[in-house]
Structure 1
Amino acid sequence: MKAITYSILELAVVAKGSTPADAFRNSLTLAQQAEKWGYTRFWLAEHHNMVSVASSATVVLISHIAGGTKTIRVGSGGIMLPNHSPLLVAEQFGTLGQLYPNRIDMGLGRAPGTDQLTAQAIRPDRMQSVFQFPQEISQIKQYFSPANASAKVRAAVAEGVQVPMYILGSSTDSAYLAAEKGLPYAFASHFASTHLLEALQIYHQRFQPGADLKEPYAIACINVIAAETDEKAEKLSTSYLRMILGVMSGQMDYLQPPAEMTSDLAALREHPALQSFLKYSFIGSRATVKQQIKAFLELTKVNELMITTNAFHLEDRLKSYEITASIMQELAAT
């Protein structure tokens, strides 16, 4: 199997009994270790009004992580563009690109990253911006262009700065857009499994080469909880399972400590809605997870794997990411 780039999607999850400050310190510790384990990118998600997820001021966290690491690329997975002004996004990422040259990625999506009531509070006119998403992508690209120096409205700090742009999505709409724009494409299959294969097919079939990218470049995100044994991984996964149930029921809470898998929780896990959410969640020992990742890569043929791991204890998260890195290296070697 060819070597596949592997990266991390981080939510700065807040565990029960801890604070957002603890989550930020843990995120930096993870990024520093990920750099040693060969991970290429460390992307931070944008979410709002969720007590268990502290990655709401995404750009600030990107700077925190980039400032505490040396070589790993740091970026957004993603900035939810309808929540923001394109000019401000260009200025913010231009600033990051100036501070950390050739290390910043800009992933852009159009979902709110929250519930509709909160989305309305973030930006009352956001629905107008949702429909203008393709135009706002082009607008940001223009702000980064040296040719924009003669424009009346400029993001001078961004002009000529190299910050690669990625289109994020969880449906086929984003695949059409990424292909049309000739941009790399990242699919959120860690929670939206239904349209993954269709979206990838659309992206590859309709891709238009451009100045940024000559060939399609696809990323897919998966959940991984790897541990010494299948039994331990299953127990660790109960924290994540309860987190998903909280999101789906609208009763979000801090990430809970792991517990034994009860019959009630196991039954809920089999519910069709959760099965769809968990379809690309790979949980188990090194051997189990390796087999699952190998099958996923053979199925999707993506260029890069984005991995997210939500476990209660930092040491369990670190161990899972270390095991996953070694799996990726073993697959490349064989």
Structure 2
Amino acid sequence: MTEQSKEFKYSILELASMGVGSTHNQTFKNSVELAQKAENWGYHRFWLAEHHNMVSIASSATVVLIGHIAQSTNSIRVGSGGIMLPNHSPLIVSEQFGTLGSLYPNRIDMGLGRAPGTDQATAHAIRPDRMKSVMSFPEEVAQIQQYFSPENSSSHVRAYVAEGTNVPLYILGSSTDSAHLAAKMGLPYAFASHFAPAQLFEAFSIYHNEFQPSEYLKEPYTIACVNVIAADTNKEAEKLSTSLIRMMYGVLTNNIDYMQPPTEMTADLKALAEHEAFQRMLKYAFVGSKETVKEKTEEFIKQTGINEIMVASHIFDHQDRLRSYQIFSEIMSEIKI
């Protein structure tokens, strides 16, 4: 590969995680501060993820937060990673993102996925007929493209605020199904390898092999998300990672709680982190000092051939989280691929 340094894009996936004792107001303030600092540190995008009925995640009203972050920053791209389309009407999504695209020109991204972003009971409460929408996901993505197209001006149903507005669309996925779709539609593809790494390489292979150039994208474009917990020493980063281990244990046991403060790494926690179920989800969790995380990041980029890396960092203390993202920006300014 050719040498890349600052030109290689690196971005953030934000879930507005709620730590024990935190408030929603403070969590949103922390997200804003992170986005503002990320902008100065050279991050390319700041995406927010849609989740529902989870006490530990505050990004449920994703579109509202996208607007809030965009209003509080100047140049960083802001978008969804993603909007779970079966939860919504394509027309409403088009109107919302068309509005954002008009308010913040050339800064808004629309990432679309088909998972519920929650448990089945909550998914049913959001939209009882969502499974019908899941099956028609490709058609609904095309419908959104139509609403954004200037040619839609002759249609009976229009999203006026969206027509002709520049809001790039990304297909999100954690399996091979999404790879086929992104390739067929000629759209950029973002893979959730931060929690579902199993099919990463197969999905990218399908995407590259089947990619059909479109008016939106001439060549394949891939983004992969990883977990990063970086600190000044390996020992400090290992301690910070205990919050992530406890959080993922709650996910695996269906006992989701507020993110807990870090503790010293115990034999029990280490055994949990090394358990097969954890490894299936957290294969790409880069924990350590700058040197350690840099080595793992370089290897990941070389192995995957991605165009952009996205980072999620589940760290309890806000200042520790800021420091982790700052360290990663330093890594990406030095990295040579």
Q: In structure 1, what is the equivalent of residue 11 of structure 2?
A: 7
Matched, 1:249 2:276: no
Distance 1:129 1:295 in 2: 38
Question: CA offsets per residue over residues 269-325 of structure 1, 9 Å max, x none?
Answer: 111110111100000000000000000001001000000111011110100000001
Q: Percent identity?
A: 65
Question: CA offsets per residue over residues 105-130 of structure 1, 9 Å max, x none?
Answer: 00000000001111011100000000
Question: CA offsets per residue over residues 41-76 of structure 1, 9 Å max, x none?
Answer: 000000000000000000000000000000000000
Q: In structure 2, what is the equivalent of residue 38 of structure 1?
A: 42
Matched, 1:281 2:285: yes
TM-score with structure 2 setting the length: 0.98
Q: CA deviation at 1:263?
A: 1.0
| Corresponding residue pairs, total | 333
Q: Superposition pairs for residues 1-334 of structure 1, below 5 Å?
A: 1-3=3-5, 4-332=8-336
Q: CA deviation at 1:20?
A: 1.3
Aligned AA (1:245): Y
Gap regions ≥5 residues in structure 1: none
Distance 2:81 2:259 in 1: 21
Q: CA deviation at 1:29?
A: 0.2
Question: CA offsets per residue over residues 217-236 of structure 1, 9 Å max, x none?
Answer: 00000000000000000000
Distance 2:190 2:24 in 1: 27
Aligned AA (1:209): P
Distance 1:66 1:270 in 2: 39
3-state SS in 2 of match to 1:220: strand
3-state SS in 1 of match to 2:335: helix
Distance 1:296 1:157 in 2: 40
Distance 1:21 1:177 in 2: 38
Distance 1:321 1:270 in 2: 25
Q: CA deviation at 1:24?
A: 0.5
Distance 2:260 2:147 in 1: 43
Distance 2:271 2:191 in 1: 28
Q: CA deviation at 1:265?
A: 1.1
Gap regions ≥5 residues in structure 2: none
Distance 1:173 1:288 in 2: 33
Q: CA deviation at 1:101?
A: 0.4
List, as ranges, runs of 4+ consecutive aligned residues in structure 1 with deviation greater than 4 Å. Answer: none
Given that 2:186 and 2:216 are in contact with CA atoms closer than 8 Å, whether structure 1 keeps it comes out as yes
3-state SS in 1 of match to 2:224: strand
Q: CA deviation at 1:248?
A: 1.2
